Amino acid sequence: MNSEQYEAIIEGILFAMGESVEISKLAAALEIEEAKVREIIHRMMERYAGEDRGIQLMEIEDNVQMCTKKELYEYLIKIAKQPKRHVLTDVLLETLSIIAYKQPITRLEIEKIRGVSCAHAVSKLVEYNLVCELGRLDAPGRPLLFGTTEEFLRSFGVQSIEELPTLDADQLEEFRHQAEEEMNVKMDV
């Protein structure tokens, strides 16, 4: 491999990791000596400093990290201050409704209801601060219990979980009928 290929690999790793990476780990991944990795990193640092680039490499003890140049922080702050727009997809809404109505609930119980993995959905809901960890179930493996947050209540305009809408018996029967029809169609295929 030539030097440019090593640089591309190092740049890709540092970008993807988003945090500092030990030089020894870079050397192991590239299957070259640490001294050679340091040489490549220093060359990259010089190039980034000499070009009009928004990034730089920082060497911190025996680690290296890709960072934004400090001259650009004022622009980062402008972006960071803007409110984040969270999009609730159908999958997220379905998972959130299960958690809201069945809390406290484990991820395994959610997956049993949905019939598919929900790790990503639960993680996103935690990230959006609509769901939080409530503790652990006193069972083998001590799985996490999830429930809704105050932000969930604010977002949906309710003061408590008791204010969430409920289904009457007719609606439940209609949903059960629709589900049975779907199952029959799947069985016929």
Task: Say yes or no to pLDDT of 121 above 70.
Answer: yes
Q: Is residue 7 a contact partner of residue 40, using CB atoms and an 8 Å limit?
A: yes
pLDDT for residue 27: 95
pTM beyond 0.85: no
- Tell me the one-letter amino acid at 40: I
> For the CA atoms of 18, 23, 27, 29, what is the dihedral angle to 10 degrees?
-30
- Quick one: pLDDT at residue 13? 95
- Domain ranges for the chain, please list them: 3-73, 90-188
Tokens read off for 102: 């069945």
Q: What is the distance, to the nearest Å, from the Cα of residue 17 to the centroid of all Cα atoms in its chain?
A: 14
Compute the distance between CA of residue 145 and CA of residue 175 in angstroms, rounded to an integer.
27
CATH class of 3-73: mainly alpha
CATH level 3 topology of 90-188: Arc Repressor Mutant, subunit A (1.10.10)
